[in-house]
Structures are given as C-alpha cells and as structure tokens.
Amino acid sequence: MRTRVRLTDLPKMGWWGITLRLIKTLEVLFFKILQFLDLYRPQKSIIGIPSLATRSSTSLQAVVYNGTQEEVLGFRARRLVHRILRGLPDLEYFESIQFQVSVSQNALRTIEGSTEDRGFIHLQLPWQLPYQLPTIAWSRMDPKGIDTPFGRIRLGDYEVISSPVFFLHDGIHHIVVTDIDDTIKDSNVHESTKLKEIVRGLFRGNYYRFDAIPGMATLYQKLAARGCLIVYLTSTPYQLAPFLMKFLRDSGFPDGPVFPRWMGYGRFGHKWRTLHRLLTNAEKQKVYLIGDSGEQDLQIYRRVTSTPSFGSRVEKILIRHVPGTPLPRTLNDTEILYKDAAELEKFLAPVLVE
C-alpha cells in the first residue's frame, strides 16, 4: 500500500481492507474485459453529501454506488446479492475522486480521496480559508478510477451528484444541531432496532418509508429564513445517505451540512467527535442542540456542555420525548423536554425574533 498524508480520522485499512482490494481488482479486470468486448457497460453514481467549512477545517463527503442514483433509490441493484439482501446498499470500493471547491473569487481548493474499503469518503482538511467567506459553495467531483495494485483503472460511466459546502462565518449568529431519527423523522428507533425488524429490513429495505414529525420542516424553514445554520447530525450510516437526503428533500427541510455515521464508530463517539469539531469553531455563534429520548442524545449533549472550553456556547439542549420511552430527567435550566414542534418553537423564540 502506498503511504500518503492522512486526511481523515477514520482508521487505516487492516488485513480485511487489503483482501478486499485484491478481490476488487479481480472484479475490475473481469468487467474491464466485458466492457472492452462491448458485453457490459458498468454504471456508477457518486453522491455528494452536504458538508461544512470553517476557518480551521473543511469537511468533504461522498458515497459511491454501483448503479445510477435512480437504481439505488429504487432498490434495483445490479449485483445478485444486493437484489436478495436489499438492506445492503451496493457500495463501490477504492474509487478515487477529485474534489474542487471554490472558497472565494480567486481561490480554488483541490484534493483527491478514495472510498477505500468503506465505500464512502470523509475528508477533514486543515485548509486556511480567506477572511471573507461565502455562505455556500458547490463541491465539484471528478472520478479518477479505481485504485488497484496495477494503478488506477477507469471503469464504466459515472453519474455525479454534486453537493453544497456551507461556510461557518461571522454572519451566522445561531446554529441548530439536530438529530434526525425520532427528532424530525418518525422512525421508532426503539422498535425498529429489534432483531425481527433488522432481519425484515435486511430483506425488504425500508430506508425512506417514514414520515416527518408534523411541523418540524416548517419550523426549520423559519429558522433557516432567519439566517440560522441547520446542521443534521445523525446515527444513520453513510451507506444510507441517498435515502436520508431524499427524505430531507421530499419532506421540505432546509439545506444544511449532513454528518452520517461510519459503522465502525458508535453513536456516542460519532456525535461527540462532530460536536467537538463544530463547537471548537463556533466562537461567536449561539448553539442549540436538538435530539430525542429514543437514543443517547441527552447524555451526549450533556457531556459536550460539561466541557469547559466550549460548553458555554450551548444555549439550550432540547429533547423530544418519544412515546414509549422513559421520561428523561433534566439536571438544569439548559436541558428542556418538549412534545411537538409547536412547543419546540416556543423554546427557539430567541432565534426567530432576532
């Protein structure tokens, strides 16, 4: 394996990654022969995930699939195993992608990353950004081929779905960090994570067959209209990112950075890392943390606010009590429980009137 600068906090590949790379190389050579004989034309989709840029670091994220976005969202996998096990998204490994982000009129940042043995890319870049930042830019992605021991091999056609990069600058006064499952999406996590439901989802797939919590999309649109930055921090794995973004789009939620979870990290570790990175850079913004009682949101948020270096930047911790789950116990005035969007809106009144 070639050594290179580590631009991600995800662990390096182990023996499994090296084995998977060899298997992937054999598959690529086989399909390259079929493509040369005009017997099969591989089709892939590169789907960008909305990311965040601050003065100290920039995140870039993307997931690569076998098949078009329409095929992915329609559960029409090309490989047989993914047709049977619809709960296993058909990821593409060791795909190299070049990212380009325009951070100002005369500044263009370029970087390459690989999906390696995970199927997705999450780069954390220590870019020094100019003082005057835009509100949003688009990340252009260009496929460079599949990394093999024989070099890069470009295989098939690519459908590229670009994504925005949001900039955290001094013009933003409020940040709302929100969970998704059971916070804005009626997921019933405490029920859907039972063994029976997991097996059912493995064979049927049920990624975006959920309804939004009534009134949440309208409330978040009001917050965004006031210049509030909405950050979606979720335990949903990267593999399901297209279904997650489809839900946000179809339900009418405003655009904002989305941070899914790598399956190698637990929910606590994933949210802690992301919040630590965000709050470290939110020096002039007031932050509201929104979650639910179905998972560990209150414990995670409480742990974050107890950190002296940036705990004072959190204005409120707002937790939705999910029916059927124990009622959490709050420890101070910062921690607040709510039932629905109307009650939540009252606690977010300082954001809406400013």
- Give the SS3 label for residue 8: coil
Whether the predicted pLDDT of 302 surpasses 70: yes
CA distance 185 to 349: 22
- Give the SS3 label for residue 20: helix
Q: Which two tokens stand for residue 202?
A: 């493995």
Q: Which two tokens stand for residue 307?
A: 């950190």
Q: Residue 140: is it exposed, middle or buried by C-beta count within 10 angstroms (0-12/13-18/19+)?
A: middle
Q: What is the pLDDT of residue 12?
A: 75
Q: Which two tokens stand for residue 272?
A: 């802690």
Whether the predicted pLDDT of 189 surpasses 90: no
Whether the predicted pLDDT of 9 surpasses 80: no
Percentage of the chain lying above the pLDDT 90 cut? 52
pLDDT tens for 277-293 read 899 888 889 999 999 98
- Cα 331 → chain centroid: 30
Average pLDDT value for the chain = 88
Lowest mean pLDDT among 61-65, 108-112, 212-216, 337-341: 108-112
Cβ–Cβ < 8 Å for 50, 34: no
How many CB atoms within 10 Å of residue 237?
Answer: 19
CA distance 273 to 269: 6
Confidence band (pLDDT; 50, 70, 90) for 110?
A: very high
Whether the predicted pLDDT of 129 surpasses 50: yes
Q: What is the pLDDT of residue 174?
A: 96
Confidence band (pLDDT; 50, 70, 90) for 2?
A: very low
Question: Considering all CA atoms of the chain, what is the largest pairwise distance in Å, rounded to the nearest integer?
Answer: 69
pLDDT tens for 17-64 read 889 899 999 999 999 999 889 888 889 999 999 999 988 889 999 999
Strand pairing report for 314-320 and 335-338: parallel
Q: What is the pLDDT of residue 93?
A: 94
Q: Which two tokens stand for residue 8?
A: 């991600």
CA distance 304 to 273: 10
CA distance 240 to 243: 6
Whether the predicted pLDDT of 208 surpasses 70: no
Of 184-198, 244-258, 268-282, 316-330, give the range with the top mean pLDDT: 244-258
CA distance 141 to 229: 24
DSSP for 112-181 reads EEE-TTTTEEEEEE-----SS--SEEEEEEEEEEEEETTEEE--SEEEEE-EEEEE--TT--EEEEE--B
Q: Which two tokens stand for residue 102?
A: 């325009």
Q: Which two tokens stand for residue 103?
A: 């951070």
Lowest mean pLDDT among 102-106, 166-170, 254-258, 259-263: 102-106
Whether the predicted pLDDT of 354 surpasses 80: no
Long-range contacts of 337-342 (CB under 8 A, 24+ apart): 337/293, 340/213, 340/214, 340/215, 341/213, 341/214, 341/215, 341/216, 341/218, 341/219, 342/215
DSSP for 240-256 reads GHHHHHHHHHHTTPPP-
Whether the predicted pLDDT of 6 surpasses 80: no
Q: Is the pTM of this model over 0.75?
A: yes
Whether the predicted pLDDT of 4 surpasses 90: no
| Angle, CA 137 vertex, CA 134 and CA 140 arms, to 5° | 155
Domains, the chain: 15-167 (2.60.40), 174-353 (3.40.50.1000)
The phi-psi region of residue 151 (left if phi > 0; otherwise alpha if psi is between -120 and 50; otherwise beta) is: left
Cβ–Cβ < 8 Å for 119, 45: no
The phi-psi region of residue 194 (left if phi > 0; otherwise alpha if psi is between -120 and 50; otherwise beta) is: beta
pLDDT, mean of residues 103-128: 87
Instruction: Give the amino acid at 80.
Output: L
CA distance 56 to 165: 15
DSSP for 173-237 reads -EEEEE--BTTTEE--HHHHTSHHHHHHHHHH--TT--EEPTTHHHHHHHHHHTTPEEEEEEEEE
Contacts of 36 (CB under 8 A, 6+ apart): none
